[in-house]
């Protein structure tokens, strides 16, 4: 397992988040200690690797329901799809049976296939927002009825991946 659970406000996590494309800067220049936002949250920092993953369950103004991957940043040698799979396992332990989703801004990333690392981890594109963000989701339905949702999901994701 490459992840260690941390707290919102962890100094290293906040600094790493500050370099993420989704980081919004306040006009008055303030830099709050907490960076995730309201709601239930899980902040994952890489164990000996430069990586950050944030899950957040909150009341959303758009039609998306479930648990949101609000930040994923990987600057390590570990495949992003591997880190995503492990983060999915952690999310399913905290929020069993919940749909997972994320947004990718295709204008802010280098890839010509926005969300490719999520797709290699078993996610699928489910639409586009009015603002042009790609919506990706991971639904746990395929994992229902197993002895361990996290374990069965992990097996299905690994079997369905292309070593991505």
What is the set of domains in the chain, with CATH numbers?
3-160 (3.40.630.30)
The residues, any chain, with a CB within 8 Å of residue 93's CB and separated by 6 or more, are 150
pLDDT score recorded for residue 57: 96
pLDDT score recorded for residue 21: 57
pLDDT score recorded for residue 26: 63
Which tokens belong to 81?
């799809």
Altogether, the residues listed in the chain come to a count of 164
- Mean pLDDT in consecutive groups of 10 residues from the start of the chain, 164 residues: 94 76 68 83 96 94 92 94 98 97 89 93 95 94 48 43 40
Q: Are 90 and 118 in contact (CB under 8 A)?
A: no
Q: How many Å apart are CA 43 and CA 51, to the nearest integer?
A: 11
Q: How many Å apart are CA 124 and CA 151, to the nearest integer?
A: 20
pLDDT score recorded for residue 62: 82
Adjacent-strand bridge partners of 151:
none
Q: How many Å apart are CA 43 and CA 5, to the nearest integer?
A: 6
The gap between the terminal CA atoms of the chain, to the nearest Å, is 17
pLDDT score recorded for residue 143: 54
Sign for the CA dihedral angle at 8, 12, 14, 20 comes to negative
pTM recorded for the entire structure: 0.80
pLDDT score recorded for residue 112: 87
pLDDT score recorded for residue 135: 97
Q: Are 71 and 52 in contact (CB under 8 A)?
A: yes
Sign for the CA dihedral angle at 24, 11, 9, 75 comes to positive
């Amino acid at each position: 397992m490459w992840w260690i659970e941390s707290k919102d406000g962890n100094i290293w996590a906040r600094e790493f988040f500050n370099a993420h494309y989704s980081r919004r800067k306040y006009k008055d220049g303030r830099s709050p200690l907490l960076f995730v936002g309201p709601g239930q949250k899980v902040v994952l920092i890489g164990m000996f690797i430069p990586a950050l993953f944030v899950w957040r369950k909150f009341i959303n103004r758009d039609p998306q329901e479930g648990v949101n991957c609000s930040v994923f940043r990987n600057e390590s040698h570990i495949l992003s799809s591997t880190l995503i799979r492990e983060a999915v396992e952690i999310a399913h332990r905290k929020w069993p049976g919940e749909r997972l989703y994320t947004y990718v801004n295709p204008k802010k990333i280098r890839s010509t296939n926005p969300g490719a690392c999520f797709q290699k981890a078993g996610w699928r594109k489910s639409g586009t927002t009015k603002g042009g963000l790609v919506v990706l989701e991971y639904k746990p339905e395929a994992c229902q009825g197993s002895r361990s949702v996290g374990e069965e999901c992990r097996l299905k994701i690994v079997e369905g991946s292309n070593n991505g």
